Amino acid sequence: MATLNQPQSQAGILSFYDAPERGPKFGAKSILIAVAAFTIIIMVLDHFIL
């Protein structure tokens, strides 16, 4: 178990974030736009179906 005087890398925290990433990279702005668009599409479809 890590104590408070040990660096974070020894606790295994930094090794998780330093791992090489694979796959597409998305920014926060593109994720927010996609979620907003999906929400609007669902609301419009719900309005016309019911």
Which DSSP letter does residue 5 get? Answer: T
What DSSP string runs through 11-33?
GTHHHHHTSPP-S----HHHHHH
| pLDDT value, residue 32 | 96
What pLDDT is attached to residue 23? 76
- For tokens 């927010």, the residue is 32
| pLDDT tens for each residue of the chain, 50 residues long | 555 555 555 555 555 555 567 878 889 999 999 999 999 999 999 988 86
- Alpha carbon 13 to chain centroid distance? 17
- pLDDT at residue 45, rounded to an integer: 93
pLDDT at site 17: 57
CA 31 – CA 36 distance, rounded (Å): 9
Given phi > 0 = left and psi -120 to 50 = alpha, else beta, which region is 2?
Answer: beta
What's residue 9's pLDDT?
52
